[in-house]
Structure 1
């Protein structure tokens, strides 16, 4: 698609939809936004457009909780290795083969959706956390640098650490905020985050916040479990489409 107005309109709708999902279930803005945007632009451009709205919404989530300092200390190694991993693989996302990045993104969406639909709850033993946290951070960063997504395996891992509900929301906000900044830094260092991308990303904040506001308003009127199930089924379908398209283009 080459019509700038059509792309801008679709981008606004993508961020509004992503914000709506985050408003209803508390997560999913980066995942749904980059997945939809990658249908009309290269994954690297989609990741650049994602930076500011993702950062704004996650900082909001981060500072809403009371235990930031304690969480930062506990997750320090995970945050550090996530940054390193993102820097190591950013050339996959920004490389000349857009189909490779798009296919990788599609595969991650499928894996993420299937995991969320089928996985049972598990817990991480306290004695495993010191070595498992940096490993999970590194794996998540490597995936983020290649696809622009920083949910797997970080989200299921953080969910398994035994946080209380409010602590988990804040921990996710912390990890996503640091990961977003790492992605922005990696894009900038690779020359793929020009000022025009920053400006477009800033404009995307408005539809993202509007969608989030609407999602929060209708949350009580929806069955969250049913919505979550359809959301992840949609991610699987979107991922399969992107993966098939990348394979056909290769």
Structure 2
């Protein structure tokens, strides 16, 4: 159990504030940044337990912010089912695998996400391929989400490639992240890694996360989102490399 007013608690508060700020500016990044930073101070399974409630609250908020929820559910339901099942399977790896391997997996996921965001060209998925690719992308996303706590790969680039309108894309991301969070919580609970103490800390983490989101929305109107996102991705990439290097040392 992490004590209040301890250095780990200060790290948690600062991490969720910054993660909320990033989400306020870019519409994503809270679980990714939280797992990356907290993974440098504690095991990935503990970090994943802490992000459950802030991730759920902010993603449901994002999910309910648009007008097309019913349409998106009908279109993406098979992908969501596969994310759910894949996350449950991946969480088993997170709760049973060696901590060094899960830390390396988290670092690798951060590096891949950063490199894709910095250098990959936007993709476009033909409509006739969506029925084939959606369950595959969902399953891969779920396994990565469950085993690392990072929800974005490859769901985010795939959803961006579907040609959704801006508001629909934000809502679709909220749907994907919400399903991932629920499945991660279920998997951690079944693995005995999400208890009352984790729930309390995770609930308290909502406060700095929402404050960060509020600040982020104010910043968004005053800076270039592209510049902010570029430096955010560089930071995540360097953080991922540091986590991977632990396996070598």
Aligned to 1:16: 17
Cα shift at 1:3? 9.3
Asked whether the 8 Å contact 2:3–2:9 carries over to 1, the reply is: no
Task: Using structure 1 for the length normalisation, give the TM-score.
Answer: 0.96
Aligned to 2:209: 208
Aligned to 1:221: 222
Mapped partners of 1:41, 1:95: distance in 2: 16
Asked whether the 8 Å contact 2:124–2:163 carries over to 1, the reply is: yes
User: How does 1:96-245 map onto structure 2 within 5 Å?
Assistant: 97-245=98-246
Deviations along 1:114-172, one digit per CA (max 9) or x if unpaired, are 00000111111110000100000000011112111111000000001110000000000
Asked whether the 8 Å contact 2:151–2:177 carries over to 1, the reply is: yes
Q: Any runs of at least 4 consecutive aligned residues in structure 1 with deviations exceeding 6 A, and if so which?
A: 1-4
The gaps in structure 2 that reach 5 residues or longer are: none
Mapped partners of 2:168, 2:119: distance in 1: 24
Asked whether the 8 Å contact 2:92–2:187 carries over to 1, the reply is: no
The gaps in structure 1 that reach 5 residues or longer are: none
User: How does 1:2-151 map onto structure 2 within 5 Å?
Assistant: 5-95=6-96, 97-151=98-152
Asked whether the 8 Å contact 1:54–1:180 carries over to 2, the reply is: yes
Mapped partners of 2:245, 2:187: distance in 1: 28
Cα shift at 1:52? 0.4
The alignment partner of 1:162 has SS state of coil
Asked whether the 8 Å contact 2:141–2:155 carries over to 1, the reply is: yes
Task: Using structure 2 for the length normalisation, give the TM-score.
Answer: 0.97
Mapped partners of 2:164, 2:82: distance in 1: 21
How large is the RMSD of aligned CA atoms in angstroms?
A: 1.4
